[in-house]
Homo-oligomer: A and B are copies of this chain.
């Protein structure tokens, strides 16, 4: 099969030179790249500060982990930004500026890279993000990117591990089977995250990137347990179709498949669930489901995540990077 990443030796980076490549990238990024010293072209980028609280995320992509050589490079560029936007959504923050580090084998083609940066540009335009800098490094085998996203939040920023016993647990959208396409073609829940932050009723939040079973642990504070009703987990169509062709059921997929990019959050126990659902539906189109609640951990030897419903004996875990 043709490999768009390296096909045509004369189109590879080794024939281009770094200075030319940086000029290419500035041109590909077009209006979402701004001139030095506020953008690409100097030793560092400069941002004129206002007096808001700043939020900074850093997330990466690696070939054959998060995309493959047949993936449309424009979708790879967009995914790099959207993974970081999903982190911003989980804090209720607003994006502003980005820096991109590219690690590229010399065999990478300029065509592929143009596709990547123009895809990144289009996604930046959509979310009003400016690219202010970055870095190019040559590698031997692996092709990877790291993006740093800088933006702002208000005093009601959503954090992890700040829920309390009695709070209810909620998830946006539907889960599982992301590998069938959603891992590239997803909408970061920025609008939802900012709305949640502004209600003042949300006690904690996280975005689902490593699978519900793993990310639940990252949300659960010390001294708490999470009681999860596995039958209430919203299952995606992809998840149900995958379950038909695998030895795992749909709930298992929804608990362990990574890259959902949905929000998982907790609502103050004092706030009525039905009232909250109605308020959500009046403001947002995305599906919302209550899937459990938090309780006090009464015995330190207890597993902090307790499963109820038809998958109550679930003992798997989400994606492990190592």
Interface residues in chain A, defined as those with a beta carbon under 8 Å from any beta carbon in chain B: 13-14, 16-19, 21, 36-37, 41-62, 64-65, 87-88, 90-91, 93, 97, 99, 101, 103-104, 106, 132-142, 144, 146, 148-150, 153, 157, 159-161, 206-207, 217, 320-322
Contacts and interface: CB of A to CB of B under 8 A. Distances in A.
B87 A44 contact: yes
For the residues of A in contact with B, the DSSP-based class is strand
Copies of chain A in the complex: 2
Q: Across the A-B interface, give the 10 residue pairs with the lowest CB-CB distance, nearest first.
A: A141-B141, A44-B57, A43-B87, A101-B146, A142-B142, A47-B54, A148-B148, A43-B90, A139-B142, A146-B146
A160 B19 CA distance: 15
Nearest to A54: B47
B46 A49 contact: no
Q: Which interface residue of A18, A61, A139 has the most chain B CB atoms within 10 A?
A: A139
Contact of A160 (B42, B49, B159): B42
Given A36-B160, A46-B54, A57-B133, 6 more contacts: A18-B320, A41-B161, A44-B57, A46-B53, A64-B140, A103-B144
Contacts of A139: 62, 65, 141-142, 144
A157 B38 CA distance: 11
Contacts of A88: 43-44
Contact of A55 (B17, B46, B57): B46
Contact of A49 (B52, B93, B138): B52
Contacts of A160: 36, 41-43
Given A55-B45, A87-B44, A138 B21 contact: no
Contact of A133 (B58, B136, B157): B58
